[in-house]
Structure 1
Amino acid sequence: MRARLTLLVASTMVLILLAFLVPLAVLVRQAAEDRALSRAADVIQSIVPLAGAGEAAALQVTVTAQSVPVTVFLPDGTVLGAPSARTPGVRLAATRNAALTVTVDAGRELVVPVSGTAGTTVIRALVPASELSRGVTRAWTLLALLGLVLVLLGLFVADRLARTITAPISQLSAVSHRLASAELDARAEPAGPPELREVAGALNHLAGRIQDLLATERERVADLSHRLRTPLTALRLEAESLRDPEESSRVAAAADQVARAVTAVIQQTRRATVTPTTAVSCDATAVVADRVAFWAVLAEDTGRAVQQDLPSAPLPVAVAADDLAAALDALLGNVFAHTPDGTPFSVTLTPLTTGGASLTVADSGPGLPPESSRRGASGGGSTGLGLDIARRAAASFEISSPPTGGAMVRLRFAAG
């Protein structure tokens, strides 16, 4: 933008200078010609009285003393002054008895006839081309230099003016990038034209509003933690009262996992700023095996056949163990929530040739509705955020329907 404004001012100034300097240059040249012709005319006027009186001796002295080449053609054919043949202009002036200005190769000739008792005397003054343009080149050079100086001065002023406009814009851009990087304390300093100052104020107001909304959201999450502690405590007590130790341990472990997940969400949400996270990884084989074993108990209760295909060796992936577990839990939870009892499902974990792993959860149920690929959309009356949890944990996310029916969700994770 700064370059464009400068270029616009430069082009405008060049057009204005051309509109003034070109006519001025023509006027300078015309003035030089008029000055040279006027000087020659003055010389001729000083000779006319002597030519009319027919004083040849005085005429010879006067003509010879002139700085302009002057030739006098007497009626008897005598030629005084600068040697010259009778040009067509001289003959035409003698015939018409009228003064003439004729353009010739050497310059301009002024021809003035003077009538006397002995006949018509013709006075011819030659103005060389060099005299007609004397001082023109110098004047044109000065005009060109003046125009160049004015253009450079205009460019300097335009650049300073453009900078006063573009500098606040650059600052607004930098502040917006800082806000996008979660530096919510970034503020723009109002500067520049009134419109830009208004934009800076609006951006600062937006940043403040975002901070207020995040603070409100953090308080809501904190309130959620207090609301969940009571039912979680009751759930633990119920688990301890179960007679079957294995069942009690399983329910208590599930309650503890919910408590840990809620605590992690609260801690993450209540952070004032987002800081760069360190690289995380986990053994996908161990995490998937643990979660499949957990859901296998519920699958047995609901008559679902579980098929798992896991590598025999550890498979590191670039995702936290809790995030991978939450993603798999969300997918398996959808299977149990949206398919009838007795519907079989499978969990497959395979290494990728490029590094990382592919996790596939498939079932033989009615399949997923088309809107399930959108965040927050659900065809089964749920929140629709389960698939989004899995999507955010994986490097890539794909939903498809196998030819045999049902639904298949494939997650790909980068190498850890």
Structure 2
Amino acid sequence: MLLVLVAFAVPLALLVRTVAIDRAVATATAEAQSLTPLVATSDRDALSLSIQQVDATTAADITLFLPDGAVLGTPAPRSTLVDLGTRGTSASTDASGGREIVFAVRDAAGAGGAIRVFVPDAELTRGVARAWLLLAGLSLLLLAGGLLVADRLARSLVDATTDLAEVSDRLARGDLDARADAAAPAELGIVAGALNGLAGRIAELLREERENVADLAHRVRTPLTALRLEAESLRDPAEAARVSEGVDGVQRAVTGAIDQARRRGSETHACDAAAVVADRVAFWSVLAEDTDRSLRVDVARGPLPVALPKPDLEAVVDALLGNVFAHTPDGTAFSVELVGRGDGGARLVVADSGPGLPSGVDATGRGSSGGGSTGLGLDIARRAAEQADGTFALDRPPDGGLRVVLDLGAPADS
């Protein structure tokens, strides 16, 4: 808009000035030319009166130089242009303070004279300043209008882009109901429609996954029932109770997996880490006693709220302790420590004095394992730490073994 205004306003301003000059010169010329026939037909008194009348009605200064050297009208010096006029040549030129115009005339005897018209600069530029002010005001008004339209257009584009970013962020946080405005301008509307389609497809895939996980309950119900019957048929009550407790643990794990698959990702869950860890350590301590493992437990007094659902934290503790029993020989000592963090949340440390991880194996990756397992145990802990806005780390002490450190953040409303 500014370039267009410069391209049109500047030439227009110059044109206004030129038109004003031409108008002033044309008016003065017409007044002077009306005196030309009077020089040859009127006497000196009538000619002097006519010049005074014309001079009084125009802003230009009119002077008549007669052939005998007399000067009528506004006194003026005899310039070079006047000398040319007396010799029969009419001309005009820019002079100091205005423009000088000279017309050659003849008296009744045919002798040459000259009519001099001097148009001052004020008359040449009369009305130009006001026209320029109006032109400048109109230009500023057009520029303001252009800025307003540009601001509205830019705001609509920025708002649509911000909306896309917000919807993308909500989808990343698990809010699958988030949708962008498909009526956004230009190509942003196409992107918004594609993003909405992607969100719908993700929701559909998750719904199918939830149903598949839900089918797991029906598939494992019969084997679990058989195991429970086998446990109840054991003669040793203590052994039967321990096996039944294991079956119940499997049932809880399956139920927890189904519940987790059906939960919305944007919901916030929390639990008391001290109570959960103490309960699961008590369960595993029976197996530790049976396998001659020394267990050191240091669980801080609760409550220690963490931003993780109870079934998820139970799955983490079971996965870490299950790795100890699965990948270390009987008699290997291990420890479980739970302490609170200064900024809220808790830190869980599970350490053992076993052989540790094989060299060159990244056990933090999903499916990575050096012990012939599925490699999902440590990945469960890692994903739980991410879900709780915490961190997950593996430490290989110099004296051997493995130390798993899990930091869990505090709930948002704590």
Whether these two folds match at TM > 0.5 is yes
Label 1:180 to 1:73 Cα distance change in 2 as closer, same or farther (>3 A): same
Mapped contact 2:256–2:312 kept (Cα < 8 A) = no
Question: 1: CA distance between counterparts of 2:398 and 2:103?
Answer: 114
Question: 2: CA distance between counterparts of 1:352 and 1:258?
Answer: 31
Corresponding residue number in structure 2 for 1:330: 319
Label 1:55 to 1:377 Cα distance change in 2 as closer, same or farther (>3 A): farther
Question: 2: CA distance between counterparts of 1:175 and 1:355?
Answer: 30
Between 1:128-137 and 1:166-175, the stretch displaced more is 166-175
Question: 2: CA distance between counterparts of 1:337 and 1:131?
Answer: 107
RMSD: 3.1
Mapped contact 1:289–1:310 kept (Cα < 8 A) = no
Mapped contact 1:100–1:110 kept (Cα < 8 A) = yes
Letter in 1 for 2:401: G
Q: Deviations over 1:197-231 (max 9, x none)?
A: 43343233223222221221111111111111122
Secondary structure of the structure 1 residue equivalent to 2:221: helix
Corresponding residue number in structure 1 for 2:99: 108
Mapped contact 1:75–1:118 kept (Cα < 8 A) = no
Letter in 2 for 1:315: G
Q: TM-score, normalised by structure 1?
A: 0.83
Corresponding residue number in structure 1 for 2:67: 75
Aligned pair count reads 398
1:293-304 correspondence to structure 2 within 5 Å: 293-303=282-292
Question: 1: CA distance between counterparts of 2:184 and 2:290?
Answer: 71
Corresponding residue number in structure 1 for 2:217: 225
Label 1:385 to 1:25 Cα distance change in 2 as closer, same or farther (>3 A): same
Q: Deviations over 1:259-290 (max 9, x none)?
A: 1121122123234x4563354324x2x54444
Tell me how far 1:342 sits from its aligned partner: 4.1
Mapped contact 1:397–1:412 kept (Cα < 8 A) = yes
Question: 2: CA distance between counterparts of 1:337 and 1:279?
Answer: 29
Label 1:214 to 1:99 Cα distance change in 2 as closer, same or farther (>3 A): same
Label 1:112 to 1:196 Cα distance change in 2 as closer, same or farther (>3 A): same
Corresponding residue number in structure 2 for 1:400: 395
Q: TM-score, normalised by structure 2?
A: 0.83
Structure 1 residue ranges without an equivalent (≥5) = 1-12
Identity of aligned residues (%): 55
Question: 2: CA distance between counterparts of 1:150 and 1:353?
Answer: 61
Label 1:356 to 1:206 Cα distance change in 2 as closer, same or farther (>3 A): closer
Q: Deviations over 1:179-199 (max 9, x none)?
A: 445443454553255644433
Question: 2: CA distance between counterparts of 1:349 and 1:159?
Answer: 56
Q: Deviations over 1:37-84 (max 9, x none)?
A: 112222332223343568433321221111232112223332111122
Tell me how far 1:128 sits from its aligned partner: 1.4
Tell me how far 1:318 sits from its aligned partner: 1.5
Secondary structure of the structure 2 residue equivalent to 1:72: strand
Label 1:18 to 1:169 Cα distance change in 2 as closer, same or farther (>3 A): same
Partner of residue 315 from structure 1, selected from 302, 324, 328: 302
1:152-231 correspondence to structure 2 within 5 Å: 152-158=144-150, 169=161, 172-173=164-165, 175-180=167-172, 182-188=174-180, 190-193=182-185, 195-231=187-223
Mapped contact 2:350–2:403 kept (Cα < 8 A) = yes
Question: 1: CA distance between counterparts of 2:121 and 2:318?
Answer: 101
Mapped contact 2:90–2:104 kept (Cα < 8 A) = yes
Tell me how far 1:26 sits from its aligned partner: 0.8
Tell me how far 1:29 sits from its aligned partner: 0.8
Question: 1: CA distance between counterparts of 2:392 and 2:370?
Answer: 19
Corresponding residue number in structure 1 for 2:334: 345
Label 1:352 to 1:46 Cα distance change in 2 as closer, same or farther (>3 A): closer
Label 1:289 to 1:241 Cα distance change in 2 as closer, same or farther (>3 A): same
Label 1:400 to 1:252 Cα distance change in 2 as closer, same or farther (>3 A): same
Partner of residue 240 from structure 2, selected from 238, 248, 255: 248
Between 1:48-57 and 1:217-226, the stretch displaced more is 48-57
Letter in 2 for 1:294: F
Question: 2: CA distance between counterparts of 1:356 and 1:203?
Answer: 35
Question: 1: CA distance between counterparts of 2:185 and 2:340?
Answer: 59
Question: 1: CA distance between counterparts of 2:179 and 2:252?
Answer: 36
Mapped contact 2:2–2:143 kept (Cα < 8 A) = yes
Tell me how far 1:308 sits from its aligned partner: 0.6
Partner of residue 26 from structure 1, selected from 14, 20, 26: 14
Query: Is residue 373 from structure 1 mapped to residue 382 from structure 2 by the alignment?
Result: no
Label 1:25 to 1:287 Cα distance change in 2 as closer, same or farther (>3 A): closer
Corresponding residue number in structure 1 for 2:376: 385
1:285-296 correspondence to structure 2 within 5 Å: 287-296=276-285
Letter in 1 for 2:237: P
Partner of residue 237 from structure 1, selected from 192, 210, 229: 229
Corresponding residue number in structure 1 for 2:143: 151
Question: 2: CA distance between counterparts of 1:267 and 1:352?
Answer: 29
Segments of 4+ in structure 1 off by > 6 A? none
Label 1:93 to 1:414 Cα distance change in 2 as closer, same or farther (>3 A): same
